[in-house]
Structure 1
Amino acid sequence: MFMTDLNEPTHAQDLNLTLHGWELYDQEQKGLTSGSYGFIALKFGDTTLDSLINDHVKPALAQIGYETIDLRDVSQAGVIDNIMRMHIRDCAFLIADLTHENAGAYWEAGFAEGLGKPVLYICEAEKFEKEKTHFDTNHCTTVPWRTGGEADFVQELIATIR
């Protein structure tokens, strides 16, 4: 039961959504609204990559006003695929790590690109120099990273985001 005022209960079926409300809902579903966070798509379980993201990328982007999340940061009830789609629809940009050629990271980047979200690709430098990434992304903006070069990588990533 919903309350319109303290004395008059209203049932859910008595509520109406205005045209403006439908327009806002439609914009949300199409990813036309953006939050103030970045979404990170990556392979889980790589300790080097985890350290790069948690110890360098997230703190650096927080300094320029962006929280960054990946699905490990999300603890919500529901179907994880729907939660992931919601976070991608609401993000300001998406960072996809292609080091491991993770199909999920490619899918998430494609979903974001389909919504018109800015997508930044990152990849371990040696892998990127030797093998490149999939031909659908090898011409896109990719910021390579390497262990020991985190400070330079973060500076380039921030410059690219800006």
Structure 2
Amino acid sequence: MAEKWRPWITLLKDIAYGVLLWLVIITFVGQVREVPSGSMEPTILVGDRFWTDKLFLRFGTIRRGDIVVFDPPPPIQSPYPYIKRVIGLPGETVEVRDGQVFIDGEPLVEPYIAEAPRYRFGPVTLAEDEYVVLGDNRNLSNDSHEWGLLNRDRIFARAVYRIWPFDRIGPIR
């Protein structure tokens, strides 16, 4: 009778190992995310799906231009993580004025934005664990210019590779 159940037991063990492997991957390596808003247009469009890298936080550094996934800071109450581009790094002074971002007084070249920002922000000098994150669709993005600086401990992944739609598959730059 035990021989009769052996294939089912093997199948259940394989499923359990698969679920365990899946949990390890999405917890420590990365996972697929979908963009629900147009705040990152034209770089990432509504409905795009992309693979995120969680390992870079352990083995790399956050750089200007990285597109990061994070839990929005208080007072934002959202069940979904946010995705924005890192603009200001720790120790820098960031200001947005006259339709331009300035880092330590120097204009930042941003070929990826939808249009020039129509708001003022800063100047603000970032502490050791603070970042300024802005959406590429600057004037329609709920980002640092509205709620302030982002602490490093809220960042949990970086967007690295678009997997949907098929006609735009590739690295996210």
**Which structure has more RCO (C-alpha within 8 Å, separation ≥ 6)?**
2
Query: What is the TM-score when the length of structure 2 is the normalising length?
Result: 0.28
- Could you say which structure has the higher strand fraction? 2
